[in-house]
Structure 1
């Protein structure tokens, strides 16, 4: 199974990544990625870009080096109310939003606290993807979140970076999340969480996991360009974009 889409990527603009946007897109082109999303960390992450960066992303061409470029953000969930660090006026301009928990932006709590923060964030219609939920630092009620993802039409990310050592101990949670998504018919999206160009399009660890979970292809969003475009259009985004 070939994966053609990578929406979780970072550049030097995020403050702790190592390549530029053009370098990332070039790598995506070379490894066969058809749609690459750029998703810098939201401004509450130390070193992250100013909010103006996200407001100015319409300057990025839609296609570069033959790769369709989607303009997003990995926004930070800030509190138990599920608030994000991106104001609504900017949220409405982006092609997609990943919402994630990071310990420098929200202190890890118990299972109930973490779950409530994510569930409340999911009431925001601009959120499209929940990022790296398998992080063991944040215990969650997997079934409650997957059920709400189905209700709210939100994708669950399975994060290759987490499985490659950036969040140790994530595998057991990620396989449980994948299995819950499979059982409940909730769509997943695989993300590399690249912080350097060379990992863009490398889904080696997460491929092993979804294969182990016997995840059906129809639930994996990365296998066909039309899947992600139609999904985002269904949420009122990419209104003036059509695949050729």
Structure 2
């Protein structure tokens, strides 16, 4: 599976990552990306920036090092009501919002509670994708959540860091099952490196391998081309980004 967009990357602003935005852009280009999303952690994570950091992303150039930059965030799902930790004033300045569970913010609970939180986050309309769902600490009803995501055009992330097996241990087989259900439900798939150091930006080889293994149609993979990703943002209600009108 050809992948040209990395939709999940962190800079040192996240508090536990180690590279700058320009370094990430440089490595995105070296690693074959045409576009990447900058998605630092929202403020409920220890060491993460204040919400003003995200509001001010409007000052970022649309291209760095010749690579298109999507302004985004990895927001925390806070509770079973599906609330996230970023106000509307910040969300309106962003192109892309991932909603994720993180142990320091949402204490792992029951399968039913995790399922309820994910469905509520989808229905809120505030998240464009659900991050690293393979984490066994946050078990959920795969079919119920993915069916709801398909209905609401919320993308399911396949996370390259997770697939390496040394983070969120126990996720790999779960990611294969999630991908198979997403294929059957017609849900959109997105690819994220979850890079916390610049060398990992655009490293999506394990995601591509998994998608090939389950015979995922490229039409469901929004990161297969820049145009597919931009069309997905419009489907999500975002306005067209004029600077990217020539990207294919």
Please classify the TM superposition score into its range, dividing by the shorter chain length. Answer: over 0.9
What's the counterpart of residue 108 of structure 1? 108
Residue 123 of structure 1 and its aligned partner are, at CA, apart by: 1.4
Task: Report if the CA contact (8 A) 1:233-1:239 is conserved.
Answer: yes
Report the TM-score when normalising by structure 1. Answer: 0.97
What's the counterpart of residue 68 of structure 2? 68
SS in structure 1 opposite 2:68? strand
What's the counterpart of residue 174 of structure 1? 175
- What pairs up with 1:73-92 in 2 under 5 angstroms? 73-92=73-92
Task: Report if the CA contact (8 A) 2:11-2:24 is conserved.
Answer: yes
> Could you list the runs of 5+ residues in structure 2 that have no partner in the other structure?
none
Residue 64 of structure 1 and its aligned partner are, at CA, apart by: 1.3
What's the counterpart of residue 243 of structure 1? 245
Q: Deviations over 1:11-69 (max 9, x none)?
A: 00000001110000011112221111100001000000111100100111011111110
Task: Report if the CA contact (8 A) 2:2-2:208 is conserved.
Answer: no
User: d(CA) in 1 for partners of 2:112 and 2:70?
Assistant: 34
SS in structure 2 opposite 1:70? strand
SS in structure 2 opposite 1:56? helix
Q: Deviations over 1:159-181 (max 9, x none)?
A: 11111121111011111100001
Task: Report if the CA contact (8 A) 1:96-1:126 is conserved.
Answer: no
What's the counterpart of residue 150 of structure 1? 150
CA 1:25–1:238: 2 relative to 1, 3 Å: farther
What's the counterpart of residue 99 of structure 2? 99
Task: Report if the CA contact (8 A) 1:95-1:238 is conserved.
Answer: no
Number of residue equivalences: 244
The structure 1 segments of at least 4 consecutive aligned residues displaced by more than 4 Å after TM superposition are: none
Residue 132 of structure 1 and its aligned partner are, at CA, apart by: 0.6
SS in structure 1 opposite 2:145? helix
User: d(CA) in 1 for partners of 2:140 and 2:161?
Assistant: 19
Residue 200 of structure 1 and its aligned partner are, at CA, apart by: 1.0
